[in-house]
């Protein structure tokens, strides 16, 4: 008799878990209280990248690129941008709906609660379950400060639904989401300031790459204030006054809108977990290596349980939880997870950073290749960018790859696979890469580890331009 699996949450973790469980012969019920696709598809990854795509095209045309194209009366129709964004979201949501239907997954819309470890209620209707997979995702974290309820303070969802790009924007939080929104609205002409509490933006990424990105953001007109602490927000007519401590000085910024981008927190309230004794830590559900909670037949995946709040992590965990629940050997390998930032140029990273390698006392070699030495990068981004490879000094095994440049978010898959397969610098060098591509800069960076890059003069300092 087929096992009944009930999945709570229809985001990138939940719907993938549902499809994988159905492929393995389970009777699958998926519960979603909002729209299929979750945060990523509806108000996160996809709509943000759609608007970023338009923003970069708009910026390029206003600044006379690509060369040879002359355009007059360039103007922004924001309503059409929003309509384009929504059309993409609708198309992909319908695609998810169709995939679930094709795999005979029963979809229920409503608020789900755990009545017991074998019973889930959906708006009062009970669903028996052999296995429950929690995929309830996350929500924007909020700070409490004087004036935190002022009109004009936005989270990322509201910032994507403004009637027009604001004239000015203060972004509180210099992580991935904050930097992407700052880049997007700056391209539309907004005056943007990023305020980050830590000494550097984009924490967790390689310091060298972050320094180059920060310089590029400043060059584009974005003010970056690190070691800045928000103290108060006050209404000042039609604008907001942002009072903060920047290093040792008090600073006041005047802005039309404020984007609060200080991270996300698991959305685990109102599930009925308290009565079941589900083990949690600061709102995050604790799981073992098989994504099982302390209750044997309940799994938790994605943002509600993972320290890495990324859609691709949720999807991989969703498939793995379904496989384990149905007696299969999961194919999840969570030690190598790429991260991407959709600025222009893009940023991507996988494996350890230089700082992490030094903290661990590893004996490493570093290879760098500036994309000003790559023909395709010159075409796409005027040669801005760099590839950095960290490898073991003795055997040449690839430990980390960090990219800033065009197509970085696509190239990172090659780097992740190389680390997964324990590939060496020599194996990367001996793999023939197509020309002309950005990808052929990867073996050049590997060659630079040995001081033998072909398309960069020996002894010349490696720069990002």
Residue 404 lies in a domain: yes
Residue 251 lies in a domain: yes
Do residues 88 and 118 both lie within one domain?
yes
Is residue 464 pLDDT above 70, yes or no? Answer: no
Strand order in the sheet with 106-109: 106-109, 27-32, 4-8, 131-134, 298-300
Give the pLDDT of residue 275.
82
Is residue 462 pLDDT above 80, yes or no? Answer: no
* Confidence label for 72 from pLDDT (cuts 50, 70 and 90): confident
In 3D space, the residue among 36, 28, 78 whose CA is nearest the CA of residue 55 turns out to be 78
Q: Which residues pair with 284 in a beta bridge?
A: 281
Give the pLDDT of residue 460.
74
The rounded Cα 268 to chain-centroid distance in angstroms is 21
Higher pLDDT, 2 or 416: 416
pLDDT tens-digit map of 53-64: 999 999 999 887
Contact 113, 6 (CB under 8 A): no
Is residue 327 pLDDT above 70, yes or no? Answer: yes
- Active-site residue numbers? 435
Residue 465 lies in a domain: no
pLDDT tens-digit map of 208-217: 999 999 999 9
Count of domains observed in the chain: 3
Do residues 55 and 193 both lie within one domain?
no
Judged on CB neighbours under 10 Å (0-12, 13-18, 19+), 249 is exposed
Give the pLDDT of residue 112.
95
* Confidence label for 71 from pLDDT (cuts 50, 70 and 90): confident
> Distance of CA 140 to CAs 106, 173, 265, Å?
29, 12, 6
Alpha-carbon distance 419 to 310, whole Å?
19
Residue 221 lies in a domain: yes
Give the pLDDT of residue 121.
95
Alpha-carbon distance 398 to 414, whole Å?
12
Is residue 267 pLDDT above 90, yes or no? Answer: yes
Do residues 81 and 166 both lie within one domain?
no
Alpha-carbon distance 446 to 456, whole Å?
12
Do residues 168 and 224 both lie within one domain?
yes
Judged on CB neighbours under 10 Å (0-12, 13-18, 19+), 455 is middle
Give the pLDDT of residue 63.
83
Alpha-carbon distance 253 to 332, whole Å?
46
Q: What DSSP element (H or E) covers 140?
A: strand 138-140
367-394 b/e (C-beta count within 10 Å ≥ 16 → b): bbbbbbbbbbbeebbebbbbbbbbbbee
Alpha-carbon distance 452 to 465, whole Å?
19
Provide the token pair at 433. 């890469």
CATH of the domain at 399: 3.30.390.30
Do residues 106 and 23 both lie within one domain?
yes
Give the pLDDT of residue 130.
97
Is residue 461 pLDDT above 80, yes or no? Answer: no
pLDDT tens-digit map of 120-134: 999 888 999 999 999
CATH of the domain at 66: 3.50.50.60
Do residues 19 and 160 both lie within one domain?
no
Is residue 19 pLDDT above 80, yes or no? Answer: yes
Alpha-carbon distance 11 to 84, whole Å?
22
Is residue 137 pLDDT above 80, yes or no? Answer: yes
Range of the domain at 289: 4-140+265-325
Is residue 175 pLDDT above 80, yes or no? Answer: yes
pLDDT tens-digit map of 332-388: 999 999 999 999 999 999 999 999 999 999 999 999 999 999 999 999 988 999 999
Give the pLDDT of residue 463.
64
Do residues 73 and 16 both lie within one domain?
yes
* Residue 24 neighbours by CB under 8 Å, 6+ apart: 322, 323, 326, 328
Do residues 185 and 219 both lie within one domain?
yes
Alpha-carbon distance 184 to 194, whole Å?
13
Residue 332 lies in a domain: no
pLDDT tens-digit map of 200-235: 999 999 999 999 999 999 999 999 999 999 999 999
* Residue 390 neighbours by CB under 8 Å, 6+ apart: 351, 352, 353, 354, 357, 364, 365, 366, 398, 399, 400, 401, 402
Peptide bond into 66 cis (omega under 30): yes
Do residues 377 and 421 both lie within one domain?
yes
Is residue 37 pLDDT above 90, yes or no? Answer: yes
Do residues 115 and 195 both lie within one domain?
no
Residue 331 lies in a domain: no
Mean pLDDT for the stretch of residues 435-440: 97
Contact 283, 265 (CB under 8 A): yes
Give the pLDDT of residue 59.
93
Give the pLDDT of residue 375.
96
Do residues 199 and 258 both lie within one domain?
yes
Mean pLDDT for the stretch of residues 129-151: 95
In 3D space, the residue among 245, 225, 243 whose CA is nearest the CA of residue 150 turns out to be 243
Mean pLDDT for the stretch of residues 153-172: 96
Give the pLDDT of residue 273.
81
Do residues 211 and 315 both lie within one domain?
no
Residue 338 lies in a domain: no
Residue 339 lies in a domain: no
Mean pLDDT for the stretch of residues 139-144: 92
Give the pLDDT of residue 40.
94
Alpha-carbon distance 87 to 312, whole Å?
22
Across all residues in the chain, what is the average pLDDT?
A: 95
Give the pLDDT of residue 465.
57
Higher pLDDT, 371 or 273: 371
């Amino acid at each position: 008799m087929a096992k009944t699996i009930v999945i709570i949450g229809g985001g990138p973790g939940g719907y993938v878990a549902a499809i994988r469980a159905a492929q393995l012969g389970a009777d699958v019920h998926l519960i979603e209280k909002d729209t299929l696709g979750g945060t990523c598809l509806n108000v996160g990854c996809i709509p943000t990248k759609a608007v970023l795509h338009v923003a970069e095209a708009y910026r390029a045309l206003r600044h006379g690129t690509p060369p040879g194209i002359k355009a007059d009366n360039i103007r922004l129709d924001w309503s059409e941008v929003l309509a384009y964004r929504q059309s993409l979201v609708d198309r992909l949501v319908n695609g998810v709906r169709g995939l679930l239907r094709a795999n005979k997954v029963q979809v229920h819309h409503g608020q789900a609660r755990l009545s017991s470890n074998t019973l889930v209620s959906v708006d009062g209707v009970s669903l028996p379950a052999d296995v429950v997979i929690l995929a309830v995702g996350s929500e924007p974290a909020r700070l409490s400060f004087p004036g935190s309820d002022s009109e004009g303070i936005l989270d990322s969802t509201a910032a994507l639904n403004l009637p027009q790009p604001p004239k000015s924007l203060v972004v509180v939080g210099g992580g991935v989401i904050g930097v992407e929104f700052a880049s997007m609205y700056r391209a539309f002409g907004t005056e943007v300031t990023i305020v980050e509490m830590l000494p550097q933006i984009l924490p967790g990424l390689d310091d060298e790459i972050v320094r180059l990105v920060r310089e590029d953001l400043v060059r584009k007109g974005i003010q970056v204030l690190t070691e800045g602490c928000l103290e108060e927000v006050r209404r000042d007519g039609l604008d907001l006054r942002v009072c903060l401590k920047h290093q040792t000085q008090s600073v006041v910024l005047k802005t039309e809108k404020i984007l609060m981008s200080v991270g996300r927190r698991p959305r685990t309230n109102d599930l009925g977990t308290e009565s079941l004794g589900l083990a949690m830590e600061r709102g995050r559900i604790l799981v073992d290596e098989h994504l099982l909670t302390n209750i044997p037949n309940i799994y938790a995946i994605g943002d509600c349980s993972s320290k890495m709040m990324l859609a691709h992590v949720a999807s991989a965990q969703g498939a793995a939880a379904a496989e384990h629940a149905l007696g299969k050997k999961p194919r999840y390998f969570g030690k190598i997870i790429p991260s991407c930032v959709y600025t222009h140029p893009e940023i991507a990273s996988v494996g350890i950073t230089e700082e992490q390698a030094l903290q661990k006392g590893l004996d490493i070699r570093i290879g760098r290749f500036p994309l000003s030495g790559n023909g395709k990068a010159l075409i796409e981004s005027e040669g801005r960018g760099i590839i950095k490879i960290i490898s073991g000094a003795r055997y040449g095994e690839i430990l980390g790859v960090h990219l800033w440049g065009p197509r970085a978010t696509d190239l990172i898959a090659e780097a992740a696979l190389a680390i997964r397969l324990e590939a060496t610098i020599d194996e990367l060098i001996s793999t023939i890469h197509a020309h002309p591509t950005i990808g052929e800069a990867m073996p050049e960076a590997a060659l630079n580890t040995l001081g033998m890059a072909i398309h960069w003069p020996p002894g010349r300092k490696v720069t990002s331009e």
